[in-house]
Amino acid sequence: MKFSTRAIHSGQEPDEKTGAVITPLYLTSTFKQDGIGRNRGYEYSRAGNPTRDVYEKCLASLESAKYGLSFASGVAATMAALYLLKTGDRILASADIYGGTYRVFEAVLKQYGIHTDYSYSGESGDFLSKAGKNTKMIWIETPTNPLLKILDIKQISAAAKRIGAVLVVDNTFATPYFQRPLELGADIVIHSTTKYIGGHSDIIGGAALTSNREFYNKMKFYLKAAGSVASPFDSWLALRGLKTLEVRMKKHEENGFAVAQYLSKHRKIERVYYPGLKTHPGHNVAARQMSGFGGMVSFVMKRGKKDIEDFISNLKIFTFAESLGGVESLACVPSKMTHGFFSAKEKKKLGISENLIRLSAGIEDSGDLIRDLEKALGKT
């Protein structure tokens, strides 16, 4: 079956008892057991819930994975993947990553003797030069957050296998509609399902997908032990989001491309980051490993702090807020928001300046979005 068909039908047979077409929402904490050691597949909703199971099966199908696990947040999914490591192991990661992931690496893992090496390069070869003998996990985003760098998943996967490292790819920005890292050799895919998977800015969630049974069993044990499970209701909402993922992502990309093209020609804009532009350094790799370029656009304004504030305050359709991937368009200043945990030195080294603005293009009319940017820029 094609992607859109699987999104609507995978793991989602009509309810056997009632014939309900939509997966029921099982709001129950516990399940009746038929005797000692005899149950009907479920015991307690932290360990397993029918609504969550259907959602996990559908998302796994879309990511070409054998197994799927859902979590209470994207960070919770990240922690489950990191549970595969032990004291003395090292992680190799792109320095340009989500601020919450960087915070986990620097403020949580270090106290357990797990350290991270960072690469500042968008070139896969340069990136891999940072790997050492104790590198047991390679963690990448592609496109990265917030500078939208592109890393060659297939090339990094081959290198990871040579050194015996687990390759984890955060696929939140691309989604399985535009990119499926497991098909390119990755071992684990992570999502903040808060974003495009849910798609409506009404849930917090995460997911981990893999075809490696050992990794799956370890992460599932962590999930049950730590208790960071997705609630049945959030699972139901995310499953609903999957049904429209294809049609939404097409519109997100259409709007993202239109916004990027507009900004790239504006006299007040110094630089635009969008992998769909041929001027983007990672455009060719993105075109090879992705089927589309997504709806995220970052750009640098030429003006100062006051102009940035004026621009933000004059936006009417773009909402100034954290997060991304919802049907509504959002704008944020990463240096003060999503990447506020980074030191001033790190921000400068990465290029995350106070003039950098990240946009999440929603699914509104593209002309309205451009007019909103035009009016806001005209008042700076």
Tokens standing for residue 373: 């940017």
34 is catalytic: no
Of 6, 42, 46, 57, which is the active-site residue? 46
d(CA 205, CA 193): 5
Catalytic residue among 26, 55, 67, 98: 98
User: Which two three-digit tokens encode residue 377?
Assistant: 């820029």
Closest CA to 2 of 10, 39, 263: 10
Q: Does 98 qualify as catalytic in the annotation?
A: yes
How many Cα atoms occupy the beta-carbon half-sphere of 51 within 13 Å? 23
Query: Which residues contact residue 79 at a Cβ distance below 8 angstroms, ignoring those fewer than 6 apart?
Result: 104, 222, 226, 228
Question: Could you tell me how far CA 275 lies from the centroid of its own chain?
Answer: 16
Is-contact 56 234, C-beta < 8 A?
A: no
Is residue 26 annotated as a catalytic residue, yes or no?
no
Question: How far is 245 from 250, CA to CA, in rounded Å?
Answer: 9
How many angstroms separate the Cα of 143 from the Cα of each of 14, 53, 329?
Answer: 37, 29, 19
Examine the residue annotation and report whether 195 is marked as an active-site residue of this protein.
yes
The rounded distance, in Å, linking the Cα atoms of 237 and 242 is 9
**What is the number of residues in the chain?**
380
| Active-site residue identified among 90, 130, 180, 195 | 195
53, 96, 152, 170: which one is catalytic?
A: 170
Closest CA to 100 of 80, 74, 123: 74
By annotation, the residues acting in catalysis are: 46, 98, 170, 195
